[in-house]
Structure 1
Amino acid sequence: MLIGVPKEIKPQEFRVGLTPTGIRELRHHGHEVLVESRAGEGVGLTDEAYRNAGAEIVDTPDEIFRRAEMIVKVKEPQAVERRMLRDGQVLFTYLHLAPDPDQTRDLLASGAICIAYETVTGARGGLPLLAPMSQVAGRMSIQAGAHCLEKRQGGMGLLLGGVPGVAPAKVVIIGGGMVGQHAAVMAAGAGADVAILEKNAETMQAIDNRFGARVKTLYSSRGSIEDEVTQADLVVGAVLVPGAAAPKLITRDLVSQMKPGSVIVDVAIDQGGCAETSHPTTHADPTFEVDGVVHYCVANMPGGVARTSTFALTNATLPFVVALADKGARRAMEEDPHLRNGLNVYRGSITCQAVAEALHYDYVEPLQALAA
């Protein structure tokens, strides 16, 4: 198979879909790889390194999309990239379609086979291609939130861990999954007063076993969210419904009741955000204020630590890339139900139920679509 790796064009996105190590592995399996010139420069990977690994370096994304049978990216294709997709071409990347009707419409029109990292499942449960970026984003959320709490950034002027004689900041994390637990690692490590709101009893038990008294767990309800958010100095939105739009758990009215200078880091912004006041921002202009509350809503947070994120992501995605290349997309997904769960769009049909429900499309079961 001929695989293409374009340079990411989303603002402030420096990650890359494959590393030279991945190129070597694909070449070992008999595949050819096109890499756009300078695609890896943002993470210190030179064209020479890719060339030495066996890739063909090309100058333009047009050539990548025109020639490649499968496109491997990091972020969702931008409008100019979507126009270059063609019927039957495989696209393997993050998509986050539920809050993005324009992208969904374009992918349907392209006739491409679109597999989303974020809905591929694991044999032992979980979302293995989302997990590494959730780990990074969770840890970054506290780093970003601590920065936003500084007075110069619009915050109330709090040091996250306090100092002897001065209380630490109160950090409230909504959602106890991968993002929430990694946020808790950083917040508790900094000495903050940390609480996680979660609904799943087993998850709360696991958090308690992991952190003990350093992190409090509370059952997530409308009342507990209101109580905790209004007392918080930093709120981290870490909720996830795989493939679906994030639930709006922080209402606009609740934001108006928060402390002036408090901070919301909405990690769920890729799926639309869990605060009604959130909208996507970029690393170049990451924050805005609503009712005196600083909002940090960068939609590609792990791109801020692009080198760490690239290697963590590609370690997870490479086995799936190899399977798709070795077997072809159809056979690979027919044989692997976990990879098949990543299929969001197949030649004009929506094959992810959560996306279909969020955007009011007819849903086609993936095996049915593949058989057709």
Structure 2
Amino acid sequence: MLIGVPKEIKNHEYRIGLTPAGARELINHGHRVMVQRDGGKLIGLTDEAYRKVGAEIVETPAEIFERAEMIIKVKEPQPEECRMLREGQLLFTYLHLAPDPEQTRLLVESGCTAVAYETVTDGNGGLPLLAPMSEVAGRMSIQAGAHALERAQGGAGILLGGVPGVPPAEVVVLGGGVVGLNAARMAMGLEANVSILDRSLPRLKYIDELYGDRMNTVYSTTEAIDALLPRAALVVGAVLLPGTAAPKLIRREQLGLMQPGSVIADVAIDQGGCFETSRPTTHQDPTFEVDGVVHYCVANMPGAVARTSTFALTNATLPFAVALADKGARRALLDDEHLREGLNVHAGKITYRAVAEGLGYEYVPAVTALGG
């Protein structure tokens, strides 16, 4: 199979879909890999490194989309990329379709087969291709939130960990999954006071057993959130419902409970965000203010630490990419129920229920669409 890796074009996105080691693995399996010139240059993955393992370097994304049988990316295809996709072509990347009707329409119209990293599952009910970026984004949310709390950035001028004689800040994390737990761990490491909220009692018990009284576990209700907001310097939105839009956990009127200059970091912004006042921002212009509260809503947070993120992502995606290339998309998807959960669009049909229901498309089960 001929596999193409284009350079990412989203604002301040420096990740690349495949490392040289990943390219070498696919080439060792008898496939061909072509990478767009300078696709990984800014994170130290040079064209020479790709050439050394046998990959072809091409000049333009148009050539990649025209020739490749499978496209491996990081972020969702931008409109101009969607328009280059063709019938029968395989796209393997993050999609986050639920809050993005335009991308969904363009993928349907293209006739391509689109497999989304974020909905591939594993035997434990986890999301193995979302997990590494969730770990990065969770940790970054505290780093970014701490920066946004600085007075020069519009924040209240609060140091998360305080200093002797000055109490630490209160950090509230909404969601106890991979993002939330990584955020809470980082905040705890900076010596902030941390509360983590979730609606799964087994998850709260697990977190409590790990950290005891170093982290406050709270069953998530509107009342519990209202009680914590007046004290919170930083609130992290870390709630995920696979494949569908994130629930709005904090409404605009609740911002009035927060102190001026406090910060919210919405890690769920890829799925529409879990704050009513959230809207996507970029690394170039990462924050905005609503009712005195600073909002950090960068939609590709891991892109800021692109080298770490690229290696972590390839580690997770490579076995699935190899399976898709070795067997072909149809056979690989029919053979592996967990990979099949990643199929969102195939030959003009929506094959992921939450996307179909959320955007008003007819839902066609993946096995039916594949003719299995």
SS of residue matched to 2:185: helix
Distance 1:195 1:27 in 2: 47
Determine if the alignment matches structure 1 residue 290 to structure 2 residue 290.
Answer: yes
Letter in 1 for 2:267: V
8 Å Cα contact 2:90/2:329 also seen in 1: yes
Distance 1:330 1:296 in 2: 40
Q: Which runs of no fewer than 5 residues in structure 1 stay unpaired?
A: none
Distance 2:229 2:349 in 1: 40
Distance 1:14 1:51 in 2: 20
In structure 2, the residue matched to 1:227 is 227
Moved more, 121-130 or 99-108: 121-130
Distance 2:200 2:66 in 1: 46
Distance 2:78 2:312 in 1: 23
SS of residue matched to 1:3: strand
Distance 1:229 1:42 in 2: 40
8 Å Cα contact 2:226/2:257 also seen in 1: no
Instruction: Report how far residue 230 of structure 1 moved.
Output: 3.0
In structure 2, the residue matched to 1:38 is 38
1:276-355 to 2 correspondences below 5 Å:
276-355=276-355
| CA displacement 1:312-369 (0-9 Å, x = unmatched) | 0000000000000000000000000000000000111111111111111111111011
What TM-score do the two structures reach when normalised by structure 2? Answer: 0.99
8 Å Cα contact 1:230/1:254 also seen in 2: no
| CA displacement 1:28-82 (0-9 Å, x = unmatched) | 1000011000011121100010011110100000000000000000000001100
Distance 1:265 1:208 in 2: 23
SS of residue matched to 1:23: helix
Aligned-residue sequence identity (percent) comes to 68
SS of residue matched to 2:171: strand
In structure 2, the residue matched to 1:238 is 238
Distance 2:281 2:357 in 1: 26
| CA displacement 1:295-315 (0-9 Å, x = unmatched) | 000000000000000000000
8 Å Cα contact 1:226/1:254 also seen in 2: yes
SS of residue matched to 2:114: strand
Instruction: Report how far residue 125 of structure 1 moved.
Output: 2.2
Distance 2:213 2:268 in 1: 27
SS of residue matched to 2:191: coil
SS of residue matched to 1:243: coil
Instruction: Report how far residue 226 of structure 1 moved.
Output: 1.7
In structure 2, the residue matched to 1:118 is 118
In structure 2, the residue matched to 1:356 is 356
SS of residue matched to 2:7: coil
SS of residue matched to 2:166: coil
In structure 2, the residue matched to 1:19 is 19
SS of residue matched to 2:24: helix
What TM-score do the two structures reach when normalised by structure 1? Answer: 0.99
In structure 1, the residue matched to 2:192 is 192
Q: CA RMSD in A?
A: 0.8
Q: Which runs of no fewer than 5 residues in structure 2 stay unpaired?
A: none
| CA displacement 1:252-296 (0-9 Å, x = unmatched) | 111133110000000000000000100000001000000110000
Determine if the alignment matches structure 1 residue 182 to structure 2 residue 198.
Answer: no
Distance 1:101 1:286 in 2: 23
Distance 1:15 1:83 in 2: 22
